[in-house]
Amino acid sequence: MIISALIATLLFAVAFLSIYLSIYSGAVKSYHRGDLDGKGIRILRLGIVGHIVIFALIALTAFLI
């Protein structure tokens, strides 16, 4: 188990997902104003879930090494 790899993965995931979630919150505001349709929100949700899965796999790999 590589502790530094786990910490690096956690920090990178937090930084990346905070940026992604700020973009998502802006898109939700645009959706409520009528500037964006529901497909854009769905795509962003799939992107967030995909990145969470990727970071979980990276953390699992760092844990198992």
pLDDT at residue 65, rounded to an integer: 80
Q: Label residue 51 exposed, middle or buried (CB < 10 Å: 0-12, 13-18, 19+).
A: middle
Pairs from 5-11 (Cβ < 8 Å, separation ≥ 24): 5/62, 5/65, 6/59, 6/62, 6/63, 9/55, 9/58, 9/59, 9/62, 10/59
pLDDT at residue 29, rounded to an integer: 94
pLDDT at residue 38, rounded to an integer: 86
Supply the range of the domain harboring residue 35. 3-64
Span 10-51, pLDDT tens digits:
899 999 999 999 999 999 999 999 988 888 889 999 999 999
Tally of domains in the chain: 1
d(CA 52, CA 36): 24
